[in-house]
Structure 1
Amino acid sequence: MRGGMNNMQGMMKQMQKMQKKMQEEQEKLKDEKVEGTAGGGMVKVTVSGHKEVVDVEISEEVVDPDDIEMLQDLIIAATNEAMTKADELTSERLGKHTKGMNIPGMM
């Protein structure tokens, strides 16, 4: 019984340490930026690690008043790419703290 308690306490300390490191990484992510592009770089969307759009750049050449739908599609494509990169960045940063840990209920 005593060994089980020590094991549980050790796991709780390990979880607290992991939680603290993950919170620190979450804070750092807000300053990270990723970029998604579409139309060969004609549309660029920059997103923070917290998945907030922080910048949109649109080249003049892609602005056609007779084809607003294409511009909208390019903005959507660039934004989706940037969001995917933000998700990957988050997984990479936070996942490194849980690697090798056998935590029930977590993958």
Structure 2
Amino acid sequence: MTGKGQGFGFGLGKMKELAEAFKKAQQVQEGAKQLQEELEQMEIQGEAGGGLVKVIVSGNQEPKRVEIAPDALAQGAELLSDLVTVAMKDAYNKSTATMRERMEDLTSGLELPGF
């Protein structure tokens, strides 16, 4: 027995690191709430056909609106349907990438000790 009072293998240094990690985690949690609000307010635009069809979604993929240029109507229903689908995918991919980037920014520097 060493008598250094380290119980459970956690020395004071580890406890301090753990306290810092909890503090950072709390900051991340607060940042996540703020980020969620920002994402809801964002407008991310996907488009197709050189801008003939635009789909606008929020940062968390909530559909906001679709804009269809008058010229797109002349393309016929089938092509128009394809353009809307492509624009939706574009908007979705952009919003997903934006969300991922923002989450990485938020969690960078969060290192849990001993893990």
Q: TM-score range by the shorter chain?
A: 0.7 to 0.9
Equivalent position of 2:61 in the other structure: 51
1:26 aligned partner? 36
Task: Tell me the TM-score normalised to structure 1 length.
Answer: 0.85
Larger Rg: 2
TM-score, reference length from structure 2: 0.80
RMSD: 1.8
Structure 1 residues 6 and 78: alpha-carbon distance in aligned structure 2, compared to 1, 3 A threshold: same
Query: Does structure 1 conserve the Cα–Cα contact (< 8 Å) formed by 2:21 and 2:110?
Result: no
1:82 pairs with one of 91, 99, 104: 91
Report the equivalent of 1:12.
Answer: 22
CA pair 6-89 structure 1, distance change in 2 beyond 3 A: same
How many aligned positions are there? 103
Query: Percent same amino acid at aligned positions?
Result: 34
Looking at structure 1, the residues matched to 13 and 71 of structure 2 have their Cα atoms a distance apart, in angstroms, of: 70
String of CA shifts for 1:9-35, please: whole Å, max 9, x gaps.
Answer: 111111111111121111111101010
Separation in structure 2 between the aligned mates of residue 8 and residue 57 of structure 1, nearest angstrom: 51
Distance (Å, rounded) in 2 between the aligned partners of 1:69 and 1:79: 15
Question: Within 2, Cα distance between the matches of 1:102 and 1:91?
Answer: 18
Which runs of no fewer than 5 residues in structure 2 stay unpaired? 1-10
1:64 shift after superposition: 4.3
Task: Give the CA deviation at 1:75.
Answer: 0.3
For the residues of structure 2 that align with 1:6 and 1:95, how far apart are their CA atoms?
A: 25
Structure 1 unaligned spans of 5+: none
Structure 2 residue identity aligned to 1:86: S
